[in-house]
Amino acid sequence: MAVDPKDIATLTPKFLSTVYKHFKNDIPDSNWDLKLHLSVTMLRGFLQRGKHKTIEKHQKFLGKAHIPSPPSVSVKKAIVPETCRSQAEDIMAGLLSGQEEKVGWRWKEDPMKQNPLKGEWVESKNRKKLTSTDRVILYIHGGAYFMGSAAQHRFLVQKVAKAGVARAFSFDYRLAPQSPFPAALVDTLAAYFYLIQPPADAGFDPINPKQIIVMGDSAGGGLALSIMLVLRDAGLPQPVGAVCWSPWIDLYHSLPSIFSNASTDYIPNGFVHKASPANPIKNYKNVQERLDRVQYYAYNSALSIPYVSPILADDLGGLGEIFITCGGSERLRDESILLAHKAAKTHPEIFECKKPGVRSYPPTKISLNVYEAMPHVFQLFLFHPAASNAIKRTGAFIQKIIPEPTNDVSSCSSHSSSPHSSFSSSHHHREIEVNINSNILKQKKSSSSLSLQFIDEELDDINEDGEVNYFTNKHIDINGNCKRTNDMLDEGTLHEWVNMLGKLPDLEAHPEFMDI
């Protein structure tokens, strides 16, 4: 993340203080080297200084900030047609029917829709020489739903695209608080429709959903999970899978790591900014005013909607294969861990949906990687071995679920029905078939573009009886080495965490949460 030059003078004392503390062995985590310690401190300081600026100024600066791409990377601009957004609005209106009061605003009349939905294609220029299959990543940038841009995250997108031997499409969804939920989700759905049913002048053919990976970091990871739920619930073709880096999926901040990992992460206790026309919180020092609107992204009444907080969905089964990476020392760690257990239904007695009238789905196949000592979206720190390792593992996952073509014609055929016909659906659920073929794993192992190290590890997706392991959990050290595999939380802890969901933090027990 870029730093405003005006902040450098303010952050310099933090820099010097951190160096002093590090050499005095006063380190939040003993596994941190000086470079990581400094990086976390500086990023935390930058975010904390946001309260002295307006949201509008913050968004404007970050919208322009980005690291230039190397000559080996191709970047092509694009605009998503308004017809795609209209189709997305119709889908969301159907799914949110009856919940208009909870959503809290007339979202279909958002004046920010006057701005076109802009995106960009990012890929290595030699991609087609390295692969005979078309892998497409729909990348959703993070930024707490109210900051960031496709250009700002391009330095990460191009790394992932290269690792996955894929091309990526990222876009600038509408930001909160000017455009709260469901604006960002509508734009994400519109971008997906753009890929599977592009206009004639788009410059590419319709993309088979089975060739698409939805991916995001932080808030973008939350949107990736949300769109998977939307497509499942609306009966529309799902992408083959999703990649979520440190996904933000519990906007209540319900779980223990929000407090326990505060000293080892750069995420502040709350995102607050100077009063401005866009800011719904005019006085962030007023505790009650802040509690009346705890997130810029959504009204308090909307936080329980599963498309806002995906971890609150009654059933997280029936989704495409999901790869989740989080830091062991980040504040959102517990959300990732609980999501993985809930989606994979590791404990059916806890996670099997038994509500009358609510459909129950088969387990979702989950791969969870927890990196020791790492903060939120640690992939930002490209200099660190854990970051480069996580990007390589992400690329291996992308190549695994969208493999090179085989002699089996059906494996690379187009989707059986036109994407256009799907939009006539009356929002019925569709059954998700899980069909894992061990022969595909053997074929992938021979691919010269994929690391044998990671493919060997992925062979535990299939157990000795040839059955699918729906839950794969790896604990990885700071150098990228797998320490433990398939640890599961005990039933008691899972019950406790599930009971915590959907409640705002206990501020009497944790008054420091209001300390900005």
472 touches 400 (CB < 8 A): no
Residue numbers of the domain that contains 157: 70-352+359-404+437-514
pTM of the model: 0.89
Going by C-beta distance under 8 Å and a sequence separation of 6 or more, which residues neighbour residue 49? 7, 10, 11
- Which positions of the chain have pLDDT values less than 70? 1-11, 407-466, 516
Report how far Cα 345 is from the mean position of its chain's Cα atoms: 20
Stretch (H or E) spanning 42 = helix 34-48
Question: What does the pLDDT read at residue 494?
Answer: 96
Domain presence at residue 239: yes
Domain presence at residue 93: yes
Question: What does the pLDDT read at residue 48?
Answer: 87
- The first and second tokens of residue 488, run together, are 């599961």
Cis-peptide into 306, omega within 30 deg: no
Query: CA of 197: how far to CAs of 4, 83, 402, 442, 514, in Å?
Result: 40, 11, 20, 33, 46
Specify the CATH number for the domain of residue 337. 3.40.50.1820
Q: Using CB atoms within 10 Å of the CB of residue 277, give its burial: 0 to 12 exposed, 13 to 18 middle, 19+ buried.
A: exposed
pLDDT in tens, 206-242: 999 999 999 999 999 999 999 999 999 999 999 999 9
CA distance 411 to 397: 18
Domain presence at residue 1: no
Domain presence at residue 30: no
Domain presence at residue 60: no
Question: What does the pLDDT read at residue 417?
Answer: 37
Question: What does the pLDDT read at residue 484?
Answer: 85
- The first and second tokens of residue 382, run together, are 């490209």
Report how far Cα 19 is from the mean position of its chain's Cα atoms: 32
Question: What does the pLDDT read at residue 94?
Answer: 98
Per residue, the 3-state secondary structure of 278-306, as one string, reads CCCCCCCCCHHHHHHCCCCCCCHHHCCCC
pLDDT in tens, 374-393: 999 999 999 999 999 999 99
Coil vs helix vs strand at 485 = strand
Domain presence at residue 364: yes
Domain presence at residue 21: no
Domain presence at residue 424: no
Cα 394-334-3 angle, rounded to 5 deg: 65
Coil vs helix vs strand at 327 = strand
CB burial of 2-17 (b: ≥16 within 10 Å; e: otherwise) equals: eebeebeeebeebeee
Token match 């062995």: residue? 25
Question: What is the tally of structural domains in the chain?
Answer: 1
33 touches 122 (CB < 8 A): no
